């Protein structure tokens, strides 16, 4: 009986630890993706603007 209770306790603690790790990873990945996304959006905007400037210069007859 006591072994079963100890086993359940370990299993519960293990799953809680795993759950905590998963939650932390989800948060870290979420934050990481958010930062990457905003950087890509910011730099993408700059790159598109530069590309449009270059394109308009190329279209002008020299």
Is the four-CA dihedral 31, 37, 43, 49 of positive or negative sign?
A: negative
pTM: 0.46
Task: Give the Cα separation of 13 and 10 in Å (integer).
Answer: 5
Give, in degrees to the nearest 5, the angle at Cα 30 between 34 and 37.
Answer: 20
Tens digits of per-residue pLDDT, 4-61? 887 787 778 778 888 888 888 899 999 998 899 889 888 989 999 999 999 898 887 6
Question: Is 62 a residue whose pLDDT tops 60?
Answer: no
Task: Give the Cα separation of 40 and 32 in Å (integer).
Answer: 12
The predicted structure's pLDDT at residue 50 = 92
Q: Which residue reads 């905007």 in tokens?
A: 45
């Amino acid at each position: 009986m006591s072994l079963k209770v100890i086993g359940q306790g370990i299993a519960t603690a293990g799953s809680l630890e795993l759950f905590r790790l998963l939650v932390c990873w989800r948060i870290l990945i979420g934050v990481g993706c958010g930062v990457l996304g905003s950087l890509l959006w910011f730099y993408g905007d700059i790159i598109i603007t530069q590309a449009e400037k270059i394109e308009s210069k190329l279209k002008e007859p020299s």
